[in-house]
Amino acid sequence: MNKDGQMIRVTLWAIMAITTLFLFSELLDNVLPTQAAIISEVFDLIRTPLMIIQFLGLGTLFVDLVVRYDKLNDRFRVLHVIAVGYCIIAYIFQIFVFYMDSAFLA
């Protein structure tokens, strides 16, 4: 695999980890309140830069998916599309939650 493919893979895994942690902190708040509170505090400290970096990373992943779709390995093509879709949907949910959070605080 070339260097660009490795960077795309690292970007995909990093964004998946960030969005999974965010969803964990928001959706499992009643089940594991201590861990969810710790994750939420960290996200609150770096919310704006993290959202900008995620936006740029998701844009890169989407463009890469469209441009290199035929070059992806057949075994991982569906998984790659699902992973990018998961990241985009979770990002939209994250924007909605942060908007609602800031609207209620104002």
Reading the chain (106 residues) residue by residue, the pLDDT tens digits are: 677 778 889 999 999 999 999 888 888 888 888 988 898 888 888 888 999 999 999 999 999 999 988 988 889 899 999 999 999 999 999 989 888 877 766 5
For residue 30, report the phi and psi dihedrals to the nearest 5 degrees: -80, -25
Element (DSSP H or E) covering residue 19: helix 3-27
The pTM (predicted TM-score) of the whole model is: 0.84
d(CA 97, CA 31): 19
d(CA 14, CA 20): 10
